Amino acid sequence: MKRLLLALLVLLLAGCATGPRIDTSYSAVSQDSRVRFLVLHYTAADSPASLKILSQQGVSSHYLIDDKDSKVWGLVDENRRAYHAGLSFWRGYTQLNYNSIGIEIVNLGYKDTPEGRLWIPYTPEQVETIVKLVKQIVKRHQILPENVIGHSDIAPQRKTDPGPLFPWKRLADEGLIQWPDAARVALKQTEFGMSLPDARWFQQKLALHGYLVPQSAQFDKETMNVISVLQMKYRPARFDGVADAETAAILDVLTTPPAAPAAVVTTARK
């Protein structure tokens, strides 16, 4: 009798430990991914240091792309939060660790030389791996092109990664990120060359695009930092933070949808 009671008690405790049985035969139609953003970084460290930092210290990312054989390390499950974004803002959202996936890429970033700052290129193998991985993540979570961004986009006052040599245009060619139409930019550049908008216009347009930027109506240091980040992404040949006609044109095209084609009116024959 005691043995029977003991066996029943063990079964009861086992049932409590495993919890209730969950029936998953139904799946709600009204649902989507919690992930809204994909944030790209460079590690500013070599491969062994990058792996150690991202797996054993207080920062982390979902993926790490090596620079030797472009191996992809999966460090954090996509359903869990990784600590890669820090203090961040994009399109009204803050603290992007909660709703983003982070990809770190082994790249030293830059080194300062007597001739100036030298940015480190990504390897062709890394670029191909980046494109493939971004495609997979975007498709899996239905991330919008305007939400595939760099660390510098979400923290322009303190970050420059993934830097001016990151292959943003390649991602644009694959339809993965937002990119300004070159013909529209050329037309707008001519227009802005005759009359450049003031600081308030730039600040309002930068905020509309997604950045956290002061609304001081002055080209202050913080605003120039944001302009530099925009230039680094869309015009990497020069990213000095100076508001010029080309930058204004890029920003205007990014924030203004193209005009709808005029309707064609036909007259029925009698």
Task: Flag whether the pTM goes above 0.85.
Answer: yes
- Catalytic residue, chosen from 104, 125, 174, 222, is 104
**Nearest CA to 38 among 106, 98, 126, 102?**
102
**Nearest CA to 97 among 62, 65, 73, 135?**
62
Q: Please report the domains of the chain, with CATH numbers, ordered by start residue.
A: 37-173 (3.40.80.10), 182-255 (1.10.101.10)
Whether 109 contacts 164, CB under 8 Å: no
**Nearest CA to 163 among 232, 239, 231, 108?**
232
Give the pLDDT of residue 246.
98
Give the pLDDT of residue 265.
47
Interval 6-50: pLDDT, tens = 555 555 555 555 779 999 899 999 988 999 999 999 999 999 999
Known active-site residue 191: no
CA distance 28 to 21: 18
Residue 55: phi and psi, rounded to 5, are -110, -20
**Nearest CA to 163 among 37, 42, 38?**
42
**Nearest CA to 135 among 79, 176, 76?**
176
**Nearest CA to 149 among 103, 107, 108?**
103
Q: Which residue ranges of the chain lie beneath pLDDT 70?
A: 1-17, 260-270
Whether 173 contacts 130, CB under 8 Å: no
Interval 152-182: pLDDT, tens = 999 999 999 999 999 999 999 999 999 999 9
**8-state DSSP, 72:** E
- 222, two tokens: 């913080």
